[in-house]
Amino acid sequence: MNHPSQTRALWAAVAGVPLLFAAIAVLQMKINAGTRAYTAENDELMLRSGSAVRQMSLGYDSLVADIYWTRAVQYYGSRLGTDGAEFGLLWPLLDIATTLDSKLIIAYRFGAIFLSEPPPVGAGRPDLAVELLKRGIAENPDNYYLSGDLGFLYYWRLKDYPKASEAYLEGSKIPNAPAWLKMMAARIAEQHGSLETSRMIWSQIYETSQEKTVRDQAMKTLRVLRAQEDEAQLDEVAQKYKNRFGHFPASASELRDAGLLRGTPVDPAGYPYIFGADGKSSLDPRSSIVIPHELNPPPEESK
């Protein structure tokens, strides 16, 4: 037989269900009111208070978070592609959804897209998208997809290549993270940052990866990086040659004969470097080394 206190607790829980749905209905009406009248200061302040909404949720935080996320999607979709559309309530809705449920990964990932896209397909607020993703990473440190999203946001929207490389690299340190995160960190550092940093990352990939295709790509890139460093050094030596003789060298052998080089430098494929009329070194056309001039967009992750 149940104890009277247990019976009272059961009835209290049952009685609380209508209160929950009543609270949800009130929240829904307030969200709709805020959406129709965005400029009303009181509504906006209400929507920004995650703690206040949590008190009204009666412990059903995840359920109410789903409702706010759904409303965020509806709010975004109703304005998508409309000229002059404003997305002022998008951040408050996402803020509350993720405050109520810090594990709502979909809200972080797609919410960042909604926020970062330029008008009329988004709010044009990559700064808020960064804040949202950083919150998600802090609350879900084992989710490497969020780090990848942050890296992509820095790279694609903000053109902040050092931070993009750092975000990809941090994500690659998470257990079971895919190899492409570290590869992207290296590629961005290679094209828009330090060659030394890039070489360090690619060397680590080559030494630690068990996949042949990844190791092959790492070795290929390391050869390209060495060629890039060789060319940078040769260009400096060619300038010293011009300062001394009044003209640029026609070949590496002239640098050797002038005592500025030891031997004739060759690229990783074994071909001597050549020089143009402007004194810039380059690879022999017969060389198998190819130095890319532009960084390709980050690869799509498998869903």
Q: How is residue 45 written in tokens?
A: 């302040």
Q: Which amino acid is at 62?
A: S
Final residue in a domain of this structure, among 140, 158, 179: 140
Q: Are residues 84 and 197 in the same domain?
A: no
Residue 85 pLDDT class (50, 70, 90 cuts): confident
Q: Give Cα 164 to chain centroid, integer Å.
A: 6
Q: Is 299 within a domain?
A: yes
Task: Decide: 281 and 235 in contact? Cβ < 8 Å.
Answer: yes
Does residue 89 sit in the same domain as residue 195? Answer: no
Q: Which of 53-62, 80-89, 265-274 has the lowest average pLDDT?
A: 53-62
Question: How many domains would you assign to the chain?
Answer: 2
In this structure, the answer to whether residues 61 and 102 fall within a common structural domain is: yes
Q: Which range has the worst mean pLDDT, 144-148, 201-205, 298-302?
A: 298-302
Taking Cα atoms as reference points, which of 186, 194, 133, 135 lies closest to residue 158? 133
| Of the residues 140, 160, 188, the one at which a domain ends | 140
Instruction: Decide which of 140, 158, 180 is a domain's last residue.
Output: 140
- Does any domain span residue 165? no
- Residue 280 shares a structural domain with residue 177: yes
Which residues does residue 272 pair with via DSSP β-bridges, in sequence order?
266
Q: Show the DSSP H helices in the chain as ranges.
A: 4-36, 41-47, 50-56, 61-79, 90-100, 105-116, 126-139, 144-156, 161-172, 179-192, 195-208, 212-245, 252-257
The reply to whether the predicted model has a pTM over 0.85 is no
Q: Are 21 and 29 in contact (CB under 8 A)?
A: no
Tell me if 87 is assigned to some domain.
Answer: yes
Q: Is 241 found in the same domain as 191?
A: yes
pLDDT recorded at residue 188: 87
Residue 102 has pLDDT above 60, yes or no: yes
Is 177 in the same domain as 302?
yes
> What domain range is 210 assigned to?
170-303
